[in-house]
Each structure stands twice: as structure tokens, then as C-alpha cells.
Amino acid sequence: MRFFTRLIALVPLVLSVASPGDAQTAQAVEADLKNANNKLTSLASLVEVPIITGAQVVDVSIAAKGLTTIVGQLTVHTQNSPTFRGADPQDIVTTLTATVSLITDTSIALVKAKPQFDKLKATQDVVVILTLLIKGVVISLQALYTKFPDGPAKAQLSEVQGVIGIQLGNVAEVYGV
């Protein structure tokens, strides 16, 4: 949740460096970030409660698929946005660093939920969805990385991405993704 909430803070930065021709792309990134935040909030709230029915599995699947779609759109719009040269990349790194605890909490919730999915014989369906979602997040983070100029902030961003990668890797390992 906070990951995308914090990314929403990037929108003014994207807008500040965008030329008039890039305004539509920056607006699309802003809309994607807001949508992703809403979808991530929904997914996290669904996974944090005990999953005891097939209907809950369906709800988790729908939320994860919606988030995956938004992350894909965010990636495309980020790739089409101008570089963050006119923005303060350190602010972006600080924002992303603050999201690590949320990603950790969400990863822990997903790991804890696996036995519940196993019991409902829904793990394979969840694996398919998580595979797409994790790949989408990784690609989106890579797209963001390409928008940073070389320097200390880019190196720090790389470290933050590494921590996020570890958390996603933990989920992937538990689910066999």
C-alpha cells in the first residue's frame, strides 16, 4: 500500500520535468499511481485476514489481477516519461525507502496466508497471479531506475530495489514462483 502511496508523491516531480508534450504521459502516470495505490490497499486488506472460503480466494485473485494491470500501465507510462533530471532524485529514494516496511508486512501476510490457500486447494491459482504481479513490479521498478541520472541517489535507489527484491523473492520462494 505505502509503496504506491509513496510513488504518488513522485507525480509532481514528473510533472515538473515534463515538457508540455509530455503532460499527457505525466497525467497517465499520476492516474496509474492512484489506481495502483487503491488496488494495493484492497489486496493487502484481503490477505491480512484469515482466508477460509473460496469466495475470499476469488476476491484476492481479482484484486491481484487488477493491481497487475495497473502496474503494467504504470510501467509503460513511466517508460514514456521524461528523466528525473530536473527533480530531486534523493526525495524519490527517501519515499521508496519508507515503503520497505509495508512491502515486508505484505510479504509476511502472503507467506502466512499460504497454508490457508493450500487448505482451500487454491495455491496454484495464487501462484499464477503472483508470478505476473511480481514480474510486473520488478519491471516497473526497473523502469523507474532508468529515469534517474547517474549518481548517489541512483546507487541508493538500487539498494532499495535490492531490499524490495528480497521481499518479493521470499514470497516467490514460499509459493514456488
Interval 27-45: pLDDT, tens: 566 667 677 777 877 888 8
Confidence check: pLDDT of 105 > 90: no
Positive or negative, the CA dihedral 4, 49, 167, 68 is negative
Confidence check: pLDDT of 55 > 90: yes
* Euclidean distance between CA atoms 39 and 175, whole angstroms: 21
**pLDDT band, very low/low/confident/very high, at 140 (cuts 50, 70, 90):** confident
* Euclidean distance between CA atoms 71 and 40, whole angstroms: 10
The pLDDT, as a whole number, for residue 27 is: 58
Return the SS3 of 88.
Answer: coil
Q: What is the percentage of the chain residues whose pLDDT exceeds 70?
A: 72
Grid cell digits, residue 40: 494495493
State the DSSP H helix or E strand holding residue 53, giving kind and residue range, or none if neither. Answer: none
In our burial notation (b when 16+ CB lie closer than 10 A, e otherwise), range 167-176 reads bbeebbebbe
Q: Which residue has the higher pLDDT, 105 or 145?
A: 145
Listed range (1-15, 31-45, 141-155) with the worst mean pLDDT: 1-15
The pLDDT, as a whole number, for residue 7 is: 43
**Average pLDDT for 144-155:** 83
DSSP category for residue 87: S
State the DSSP H helix or E strand holding residue 82, giving kind and residue range, or none if neither. Answer: none
Confidence check: pLDDT of 8 > 90: no
DSSP string for 81-97: SPPGGGS-HHHHHHHHH
Q: Which residue has the higher pLDDT, 170 or 12?
A: 170
State the DSSP H helix or E strand holding residue 56, giving kind and residue range, or none if neither. Answer: helix 54-79
Question: In 10 A of CB 143, how many CB atoms?
Answer: 17
**Average pLDDT for 50-63:** 93
Confidence check: pLDDT of 107 > 50: yes
Confidence check: pLDDT of 144 > 60: yes
**Average pLDDT for 135-159:** 85
The pLDDT, as a whole number, for residue 145 is: 86
* Euclidean distance between CA atoms 122 and 136, whole angstroms: 22
